[in-house]
Amino acid sequence: MSRLLVLGNAGIDLVCPVPHLPRAGETLVADGQARAPGGKGLNQAVVAARAGATVHFTAPVGRDEAAAELGTALAAEPFAALSLLPQDAPTDLSLLMVARDAENCILTLGAAADALSVREAEAVTAELGPQDMLLLQGNLSFEATEAAMRAALARGAQVMLNTAPLRWDMVPLLPLCALVVANAGEAEALTGRRAAAAAEALHQAGAVCAVVTLGAGGCASAGVEGQLHYPAQAVEAVDTTGAGDTFCGMLAALLLAGQPLPAATKGAQRAAALTVSRPGAFAALPSAAELRVLLPGRAA
Ligand code: ATP
- Decide if pLDDT at 96 tops 80: yes
What is the model's pLDDT at position 224?
86
**Could you tell me which residues come within 8 angstroms of residue 123 by beta carbon, excluding any fewer than 6 positions away?**
none
**Whether the Cβ atoms of residue 57 and residue 136 lie closer than 8 Å to each other:** no
The pLDDT, as a whole number, for residue 72 is: 98
- Residue 101 is predicted with a pLDDT of 80
pLDDT score of 26: 96
pLDDT tens digits, 49-82? 999 999 999 999 999 999 999 999 999 999 999 9
**247 falls in which pLDDT band (50, 70, 90)?**
very high
- Taking the alpha carbons at both ends of the chain, their separation in whole angstroms is 24
Residue with CA nearest ligand 1 atom 13: 215
Q: Which residues are annotated as a binding site?
A: 11-13, 39-43, 183, 213-218, 239, 241, 244-245, 275, 278, 280
3-state secondary structure of 135: strand
Which residue, judged by its Cα, is nearest atom 29 of ligand 1? 216
Ligand 1: distance of its center to the CA of 54 in Å? 25
Give the pLDDT confidence of 211-233 residue by residue, as tens digits: 999 999 999 999 988 999 999 99
- d(CA 220, CA 240) in angstroms, rounded, equals 18
Q: pLDDT (tens digit, 9 = 90+) per residue, 98-153?
A: 888 878 888 999 999 999 999 999 999 999 999 999 999 999 999 999 999 999 99
**Is 94's C-beta closer than 6 angstroms to any atom of ligand 1?**
no
The reported pLDDT for the residue numbered 225 is 84
| Average pLDDT over all residues of the chain | 96
DSSP for 164-189?
Answer: -S--S--GGGGGG-SEEEEEHHHHHH
Considering only residues 297 and 284, tell me which one the structure prediction assigns the higher pLDDT. Answer: 284
Q: How far is CA 11 from the centre of its chain?
A: 13
CA 2 / ligand 1 centre spacing (Å): 27
Instruction: Check if the interface score ipTM surpasses 0.90.
Output: yes
Give the CA distances from residue 180 to residues 125, 170, 201, 217, in Å, rounded to whole numbers and listed in that order.
19, 10, 11, 18
Task: Give yes or no: 245 in active site.
Answer: yes
b/e code 157-180 from CB counts within 10 Å (16+ = b): bbbbbbbbeeeeebeebbebbbbb
pLDDT number for residue 98: 87
pLDDT 10s digits, 13-57: 999 999 999 999 999 999 999 999 999 999 999 999 999 999 999
Q: Output the pLDDT for position 299.
A: 52
Does the CB atom of residue 256 touch ligand 1 within 6 A? no
Share of the chain above pLDDT 90, in %: 92
Respond yes or no on whether the N-terminal peptide bond of residue 165 is cis (omega within 30° of 0): yes
| % of the chain beyond a pLDDT of 70 | 99
Instruction: Look at residue 300 and tell me whether its pLDDT is greater than 70.
Output: no
pLDDT in the model for residue 194:
96
pLDDT for the residue numbered 285: 98
Residue that wins the pLDDT comparison between 182 and 237: 182
Residue whose Cα lies nearest atom 14 of ligand 1: it is: 244
Q: What is the pLDDT of residue 296?
A: 81
